[in-house]
Chain A
Amino acid sequence: PSSEGAKDEL
């Protein structure tokens, strides 16, 4: 899911 992408950033 797209939100995973954002959550790997600090």
Chain B
Amino acid sequence: MNIFRLAGDMTHLASVLVLLLKIHTIKSCAGISLKTQELYALVFATRYLDIFTDFISLYNTTMKLIFLGSSFSIVWYIRNHKIVSRSYDKSQDTFRHYFLIIPCLLLALLVNEKFTFKEVMWAFSIYLEAVAILPQLVLLQRTRNIDNLTGQYVFLLGAYRALYILNWIYRYFTETHYVHWITWVSGLVQTLLYADFFYYYFESWKNNKKLQLPA
């Protein structure tokens, strides 16, 4: 474990807590894409298949349980909670996320570290996470006024993978044979997808203006 990875995990945890805070306290999911939340639940479900077979550390298992539990409960909240589901705007959240799942599955079947079910599922989860934010970014472009919690949620979610990139660089230089093209390329693509959001987020913070993404 290094400071970059710990900071990355804490930033990821913070993004989940901000989203839970928004949904649980103000009982609203305005501006949040259910599609992205469903994709993230799928990412964790396919990535943490080894949660009961390979014990790495208490930290690792605890964080996996937190991410699995929070992602599925957020999907449940938006879909089933009588008050929260009312603030979900289905007509705006129209990204066809199946168009993301199928190509990621095909790519995982072609490019993986070992052609076993667990490894293919793991590669699938890495590829899917790289594009899971797309429905949310599309929704943000359609949302006129993005509330602070939603903006912070997306910012933290993007920042965590950027910190992981620093972690991979650090591990490359400090550990022998630490080379993982699947996570490196996907993580870079994932972070680059946030580039324009980061730009407008920083601009709105610098000029103390409401966050607005151009349509």
Contacts and interface: CB of A to CB of B under 8 A. Distances in A.
**Interaction A to B:** yes
Residue of A2, A5, A6, A8 most packed against chain B (CB within 10 A): A6
Given A2-B177, A2-B180, A3-B119, A8 B60 contact: yes
B180 A5 contact: yes
A10 B15 CA distance: 15
B142 interface: no
Contact of A2 (B56, B64, B113, B122): B113
B9 A10 contact: yes
Interface residues of B, number: 24
B35 interface: no
Contacts of B50: 7
Interface of B: 5, 9, 12, 50, 54, 56, 60, 63-64, 67, 113-114, 119, 122, 164, 167, 171, 175, 177-180, 182-183
13 contacts: A2-B178, A3-B114, A5-B175, A5-B178, A6-B180, A6-B183, A7-B56, A7-B122, A8-B56, A9-B183, A10-B9, A10-B64, A10-B67
Interface of A: 2-3, 5-10
Given A8-B56, A9-B164, 14 more contacts: A2-B180, A3-B113, A3-B119, A5-B175, A5-B178, A5-B180, A6-B113, A6-B182, A6-B183, A8-B60, A9-B167, A9-B183, A10-B9, A10-B12
